[in-house]
Structure 1
């Protein structure tokens, strides 16, 4: 969909017609939110028209990322490079959306704004790929030098053995500037529950004693 999103009123009318087709003149037999769920949790995989439209808009982020066509020069010039945008959190998307008067690209940016939060399920891998900057879950101002030197995601703070780098290690690896207070501010801003998940992942699992075969 390369047009601006319809209004909420239009979405509601489409939804009304869809469910009228299913139920006829009678009232809905199943809640509409439930209808859009998958079969295994009692749904019927009914299309949620607003979510479907948002997914179509998200596909333009993929095109922007993967294509090298002339049209990508427009969003690059308007919003900056796509790779930089994908390394910051959804708060930045809000600022970008407010800065543009192009309704189509505003819809695209706002669709991507909702995407990271929809994916996050407290899984360790997804936590480590969370952006440090402009993240609603991490109350932290951008440290430009860190971002410019590749420290953009939580995973950039984590060593190959799964533990957080110490301050000097992080400075040596990423060649960042700043003080220990900057490091402490970043580490404190990451939610404790996330750090606990990451720490649990890095801890070796204890193996109990092996019972002799002849005992």
Structure 2
């Protein structure tokens, strides 16, 4: 990749030309191997990111990286974010597993059944750390698949959910139910069939007493575990009444909430997951915040029209690059043209 960038640095490419080289020639070298191997370490990803942005700017980076990865219509350059790209390739395995129903699906299902859960339960969890899935004897590659898929989702806080929706959420590996900063995962409770928040409440909506769990498997720490569950559900018990818990039926779902909306997983590719990861990571251009106050342009549709008309739809990319730099205030103009003529007005 370094040799590739060095060879293209000799040519006078625009920012859009460099972005095209990164997408078509550089990142394409990593796509296949990344989709079938485990995620590389963070140092490798940082090194690739450094190579990409050194190729774009050559010297000092002028615009935020999290801005450049956005679509041109939002003020970015559509530069590929390697971290999001690799995670999207992993997340794209989930629709394949659910649609194939082949040997691989059966193997994963059998591993889950040992804990009295299924793949659909794992998909409802929100863990993004592979170590939280150590109790499920899966290879690291498949743990990464579920964690990367969870990173693509949009997890709503309980304050923004309805009581019925909360009752259908899993207790375990749930980012909204944390104890000392970490989600909980009690294997003995899971094997005993206590999986969802509704399992913690009786028909009248009250938190079940300790005596209800007398038949739980392995009671070595069950008293402490009960207190932890009581503690982490305190906030939702204050907010809502769960008197309709008896009417909640847990069903397997194929549709999930993503940053771009509520979508069914059927037929979704890595490109879909990549767009959702970018939506979570993207930062608006800092110059846009200044210009919107100066020219009183507060409507997002107006900004989209500006970026499309002045940059995206321009065929001459040198002109488009000039407009892009002008909108991002990185062109030498007015008082910035000369360091020695201080009388130039703004």
State the TM-score, normalized to the length of structure 1: 0.58
CA contact (8 A) 2:126 2:155 kept: no
RMSD value over aligned CA atoms?
4.5
Residues 118-164 of structure 1: CA deviation (Å, up to 9, x unaligned): 53355325973642223343246658389737x51x4x47xxxxxxx
Q: Equivalent residue for 1:50?
A: 83
Residues 8-54 of structure 1: CA deviation (Å, up to 9, x unaligned): 3332232223223322x221111213323466875444322112211
Higher RCO (CA 8 Å, separation ≥ 6 residues): 2
CA gap of 1:30–1:88, structure 2 versus 1, over 3 A, is closer
Q: Equivalent residue for 1:167?
A: 202
- Identify the match of residue 85 of structure 1 among 106, 110, 122: 122
Matched, 1:11 2:18: no
CA gap of 1:166–1:62, structure 2 versus 1, over 3 A, is same
Give the Cα–Cα distance (whole angstroms) in 2 for the partners of residues 169 and 145 of structure 1.
Answer: 23
Q: Equivalent residue for 1:63?
A: 96
Structure 2: where are the runs of 5+ without partners?
A: 1-34, 214-222, 242-346
CA gap of 1:134–1:6, structure 2 versus 1, over 3 A, is closer
Report 1:162-201 matches (<5 A).
Answer: 167-169=202-204, 178=212, 189-190=232-233, 192=235, 196=239
Deviation larger for 41-50 or 2-11:
41-50
Give the Cα–Cα distance (whole angstroms) in 2 for the partners of residues 194 and 34 of structure 1.
Answer: 40
CA gap of 1:88–1:15, structure 2 versus 1, over 3 A, is closer
Shift of 1:73: 2.7
Report 1:14-25 matches (<5 A).
Answer: 14-23=48-57, 25=58
Give the Cα–Cα distance (whole angstroms) in 1 for the partners of residues 155 and 128 of structure 2.
Answer: 16
CA gap of 1:188–1:115, structure 2 versus 1, over 3 A, is farther
CA gap of 1:170–1:146, structure 2 versus 1, over 3 A, is farther
Give the Cα–Cα distance (whole angstroms) in 2 for the partners of residues 98 and 39 of structure 1.
Answer: 43
- Identify the match of residue 134 of structure 1 among 131, 153, 173: 173
CA contact (8 A) 2:128 2:147 kept: no
Give the Cα–Cα distance (whole angstroms) in 2 for the partners of residues 16 and 125 of structure 1.
Answer: 44
CA gap of 1:31–1:89, structure 2 versus 1, over 3 A, is closer
Residues 84-138 of structure 1: CA deviation (Å, up to 9, x unaligned): 323445289533247658342243243245456x533553259736422233432
Shift of 1:7: 3.1
Give the Cα–Cα distance (whole angstroms) in 1 for the partners of residues 189 and 238 of structure 2.
Answer: 23
Q: Equivalent residue for 1:209?
A: none
State the TM-score, normalized to the length of structure 2: 0.40
Give the Cα–Cα distance (whole angstroms) in 1 for the partners of residues 201 and 137 of structure 2.
Answer: 40
Q: Equivalent residue for 2:275?
A: none
CA gap of 1:148–1:16, structure 2 versus 1, over 3 A, is same
For residue 92 of structure 2, give the secondary structure of its aligned residue in structure 1.
helix
CA contact (8 A) 1:167 1:183 kept: no
Give the Cα–Cα distance (whole angstroms) in 1 for the partners of residues 152 and 50 of structure 2.
Answer: 26
CA gap of 1:76–1:36, structure 2 versus 1, over 3 A, is same
Larger Rg, first or second structure (1 or 2): 2
Give the Cα–Cα distance (whole angstroms) in 2 for the partners of residues 146 and 22 of structure 1.
Answer: 53
